[in-house]
């Protein structure tokens, strides 16, 4: 069974990623299904689309939009699956809902997506832990490479363009190539920011 335009996928683990191990204990960080930040976004590809070829293969891991596996309550208070739900533990996933794919333990960007790590805020008068609109490119793509922007470069991006993900226990912002608007020189000594909850084992 294959879809014409969509991937068919299944979640890796549970549909919600809301548990953190602290020592020998497991803590539930969130019990609300409405919170998109706790929806699992790692999936395994069961089938690829028929209509076109992609670099993603059957069996690859992909990082998807948080609404794919999300559960919600309708106006009558009835619990519903997302419209991506197919059957059992299988879901449809549109091409524009895929951000990364993993092969041989390496995440690669898909389409025009890229991932930027936030950096610590150096402003002593600010209570924000993360600097605004600046980060370190961690996962680039071919269009950024053509522009001379590569992983490790310090970049600036447009307001409200970033979506927070946790990639291999590291907080990163997902955005499009066009959202990267400046490449800073190496004289900026920026330090990556990562909160403790993202790295808990």
Tens of pLDDT, residue by residue over 43-59, are 999 999 999 899 999 99
pLDDT of the residue at 36: 57
pLDDT of the residue at 201: 46
pLDDT of the residue at 37: 61
Tens of pLDDT, residue by residue over 152-161, are 999 999 999 9
Distances (CA, A) of 181 to 139, 149, 172: 16, 11, 17
Give the chain's residues under pLDDT 50: 197, 200-201
> What sign for the dihedral angle of Cα 102, 135, 173, 35?
positive
CB neighbour class for 94 (10 Å; exposed up to 12, middle 13-18, buried from 19): middle
pLDDT of the residue at 35: 55
3-class DSSP assignment, residue 64: strand
Q: How does strand 71-73 pair with strand 113-120?
A: unpaired
């Amino acid at each position: 069974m294959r879809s014409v335009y969509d991937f068919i996928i299944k979640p890796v683990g549970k549909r919600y990623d809301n548990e953190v191990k602290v020592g020998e204990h497991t803590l539930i960080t969130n019990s609300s299904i409405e919170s998109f930040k706790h929806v699992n976004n790692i999936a395994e590809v069961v089938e690829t689309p028929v209509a076109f070829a992609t670099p993603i293969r059957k069996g690859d891991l992909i990082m998807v939009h948080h609404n794919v596996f999300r559960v919600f309550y309708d106006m009558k208070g009835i619990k519903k699956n997302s419209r991506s739900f197919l059957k059992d533990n299988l879901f449809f996933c549109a091409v524009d809902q895929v951000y990364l794919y993993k092969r041989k333990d390496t995440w690669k960007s898909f389409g025009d997506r890229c991932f930027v790590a936030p950096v610590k805020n150096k402003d002593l008068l600010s209570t924000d832990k993360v600097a605004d609109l600046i980060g370190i490119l961690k996962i680039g793509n071919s269009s950024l490479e053509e522009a001379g922007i590569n992983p490790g470069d310090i970049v600036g991006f447009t307001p409200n363009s970033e979506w927070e993900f946790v990639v291999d226990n590291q907080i990163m912002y997902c955005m499009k190539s066009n959202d990267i608007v400046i490449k800073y020189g190496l004289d900026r000594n920026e330090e990556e920011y990562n909160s403790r909850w993202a790295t808990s084992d």
